[in-house]
Amino acid sequence: MRLPQAHTKTAIVAAATLGVLAAVGALVGVTAGGDGDSLAGSSAPVPTAVLRALHVHHDRLPYRKPLVFTVTNGALTSVNVVEPSGQQIPGTFNASHDSWTSAGSFAPLTQLHAHVVYSDLLHHARTQDFALRATDAKHRMVPLLSPGEGYTVGVGSPVQVTFNYDVPDSMRAAVEGRMSVVAHPAVVGAWHWMSAREVHWRPPSYWKTGTRVTISADVQGLNFGHGIWGTQGKHRTSFRVGDAHVSEVDIATHTMHVYDNGVLIKTFPVSTGRDQYPTMDGVHIAIEKSKVVQMDSATVGIPKGSPGYYNETVYWDVRISNGGEFVHAAPWSVADQGRTNVSHGCVNLSTANAQWFYNWANRGDIIYVFNGVRPPSTTDPGTADWNMSWKEWLAGDAAPTHAAKALRPKLPSDYQPAFAPKSTTSQTSAAKKSAAQSSSKPAGRSTSPTRRS
């Protein structure tokens, strides 16, 4: 039985010569004679055998269609279809051997080579080769890897993979199987889906200084449904973990301790969020930094015309949440720094201290805020990664490894705040002197033009 022909197809014509085939398939006598060959008992010429690749137009096969070869006025002897890798494509013949259909359809842009052997009604063998390619999908799932190539980041920086379409729950394990994180020195870690479009990977505790990490993702050939397929090619990036920069912000004592590789190097007086706008507790990471930010309270729910509205140009800004929390210069609150909390949720420093911190800080550095009343957000990029237990983190992994499941670590902030700093007496004295000098600067306004979460 011949399969229905598509409206577009490639036809390969082979001329028949000598031989005979009865209407019921029995072999009978022949009448010879070049172009005038005919079946026995008939003066009509032998019909031409025609080989077709259905659905194919200009050597392109719609990726949702199977590959089908048919022959009229003849029979298929063999069909051999392979991908460039040498992978054989299985298929089946129909009962009359005039049609062959691949076992399934193909991923977008799949390249195929087909070698077809067939015969005409006179049993003369013919061959034809095809170089085909599946068409492309209209929609491609593309992974964006972060940190980017060549970056040096802080010890709290997670690996982030962001997609341009939602990844269905049913596909997340397959996606994780197409991604890898390789660290030197090696470390066990796990993925956690922050949303349908974003997944993070981190070790159970902060990265070790000097670690080199390579991220790769290859979702080619994955069918995400609704016409969305994984993009072609392997995506890869490498980054390095820099010095361990950990800062502790004690909301109760209005103090910020800054540690470099476990050594206390600075102590700053600060002012954090007032009662109405408390700063989030928990481990924050530095997301980005800008020398100047225009802070408009309308972006965080304090509209123009309300008592707390502000729209200020603020300097030396290190963002620690997407909800508007920064560590930044606040010359107007110097008189309150080290004494009381007056900001709208940010960590206020003097201009000199903020500039120093800005120049020292890297993306991915740890800013641990504690003794406050507002819990950390599990969805904000600044606080989402390091404020859940390892068990909670693994619950967001679609296919955690046995090694990851075997770990029973505590949160880093539970057992190594600032990596158990080994500060010396002279360092501590210098830090206290620096803090005293900062708090003696002239007082400004007591309300901070900052955004809050």
Long-range contacts of 44-48 (CB under 8 A, 24+ apart): 46/16, 46/17, 46/73, 46/120, 46/121, 46/122, 47/16, 47/72, 47/73, 47/121, 48/13, 48/14, 48/15, 48/16, 48/73, 48/120
The DSSP bridge pattern shows strands 60-61 and 125-134 to be parallel
The DSSP bridge pattern shows strands 111-120 and 74-82 to be antiparallel
First-to-last alpha carbon distance for the chain, in angstroms, is 68
Helix (H) or strand (E) holding 53: strand 49-54
Query: If 0-12 CB within 10 Å is exposed, 13-18 middle and 19+ buried, where does residue 433 land?
Result: exposed
Q: What would the DSSP string read from start to end of 72-85?
A: ESEEEEEEEEE-TT
- Residues 352 and 354: their CA atoms lie apart, in Å, by 5
CB 283 within 8 A of CB 366: yes
How many angstroms separate the most distant Cα atoms in the chain?
Answer: 118
**Known catalytic residue: 184?**
no
**Known catalytic residue: 328?**
yes
- Residues 431 and 390: their CA atoms lie apart, in Å, by 35
Q: Which of 139, 328, 344, 402 is catalytic?
A: 328
Extract the tokens encoding 307.
């008592």
- Amino acid at site 125: A
Cα angle 400-197-298, degrees, rounded to a multiple of 5 = 130
Q: Which of 55, 124, 254, 346 is catalytic?
A: 346
Q: Mind telling me the catalytic residues?
A: 328, 346
